[in-house]
Chain A
C-alpha cells in the first residue's frame, strides 16, 4: 500500500519522459558491460568499470540523459548500474585473484554495502533489466529474489541472457527458468544481438 502510494507520488513528480532503467543481477553477470555498450552506442562514453573479479561495481553508477532513438521514437533514459547482489561474500574469494588480505577485506566490506544500496534502489526504478549469465545456472536464489521483488513493486522487467558468445551459453535454460518473462539473448561484450535488445527495451518502456 505504502509502495503503491509512493509510485503514484513518484509518477506525478517524475521528470517528464525520463525513464529510470536499472541493471540488476548477480555479480559478474555483465550489467556494467551492457550499460557501457548502451552508453557507447548513444553517448560515445563508458559508464563504469568492468572486471572479471566479482563485485567490481560496489556503488550505484548513474548516467543521465541517455537518449535512444528507434523508428522515429525518442526516449530519454537515466541508466542506473547497480552492484551485483549476492547472499554471501567471502574476502578469501578475492585473494584467489591475487589480492592481499587487507585489500580483499576492504573490497568485501564495500561489496556488502553495495548490495544493501542495490536493494534500497529497487524502489526507485521505472523499469529493470535483469542480467543473467547464460553460462551459469539460472535457478539461483538471487535471480528469484530480484524478480520476486520487482513483481511486488509492479516494475516492468526485461530478462537478458548474457554471454551468448560463449560455448557454454544456454538461452533455452534461462527461458525455461523464467517462462513468464521475455528473455533476450545477447553478448554485451561482442555486441551480438544488441539490436534485438533495443527492440525489446522499447517494448518494455511501453509497459511503464
Chain B
C-alpha cells in the first residue's frame, strides 16, 4: 500500500527571532466582512506577528477565528493555534497578558478603548515567559 502523503499547506516558523508586532487600527478592518477580517488576522498570525487591534471582534468573529485556527493546526506544520485576549477597563481580562497589559494600552491607544491582542500560541508562550520582551519591542517602535 502506498502511504498517502500528508497534505501540508505550508510551514509555520516557530521561534522568537523574527517576532514583530502589527498595530492594527480598527479602520484597517472596518470595511471588511467577518471572513475578510479573519483572513487578514490569520494571514498576519501565520507570519508570526502579534496583532494589537484597536477595538474588539464580535462573538461570531471570535468563534470563526477559533474554527479557522483549529482547521489550520492540522494543516500547517508547527502551528499550534492562537492566543487571544481582549483587554479593556471594564472587562478586565487578566489572562496571559497581565504583565504587559498596562504598557500596551498606554503606549498605543491610551486608556479609552478596548484592545485585542492576538498572536500565534507558540510566540505568545515566549512572551509570557518574559514580559519584558514586549516592552522592549514596543519602545523600539
Contact = CB atoms under 8 A, between A and B. Distances in A.
Interface string B67-103: 1011101100000111111100001111100000000
B66 interface: yes
Contacts of A108: 73
B59 A139 contact: no
Interface residues of A, number: 24
A80 B88 CA distance: 33
13 contacts: A87-B83, A87-B84, A88-B80, A88-B81, A88-B121, A109-B74, A112-B71, A113-B70, A119-B63, A139-B93, A141-B84, A141-B86, A141-B93
B60 interface: yes
Contacts of B59: 145, 148-149, 151-152
Interface of B: 58-60, 62-63, 65-67, 69-71, 73-74, 80-86, 91-95, 121-122
A128 to B, nearest CB: 14
B80 A89 contact: yes
Contact of A87 (B58, B69, B93, B94): B69
B121 A116 contact: no
A87 B81 contact: yes
Interface in A96-143: 108-109, 112-113, 115-116, 119, 122, 137, 139-141
B95 A140 contact: yes
Nearest to A176: B92
B94 A149 contact: no
A145 B58 CA distance: 9
A112 B70 contact: yes
Contacts of B70: 89, 112-113, 115-116
Contacts of B81: 86-90
A85 interface: yes
A115 B66 contact: yes
A144 B121 contact: no
A116 B65 CA distance: 11
Interface string A46-73: 0000000000000000000000000000
Given A87-B65, A88-B121, A89-B70, 11 more contacts: A87-B82, A113-B70, A116-B67, A116-B71, A119-B63, A119-B67, A139-B92, A140-B95, A141-B83, A149-B60, A152-B58
B94 A85 contact: no
A87 B66 contact: yes
Contacts of B60: 149, 152
Most buried by B among A86, A88, A119: A88
B31 to A, nearest CB: 22
A122 B70 CA distance: 17
Name the residue in B62, B83, B85, B122 with the highest tally of chain A Cβ atoms < 10 Å from its Cβ: B62
A89 B92 CA distance: 25
Contacts of B84: 87, 141
B86 A88 contact: no
Contact of A88 (B69, B74, B85, B94): B69
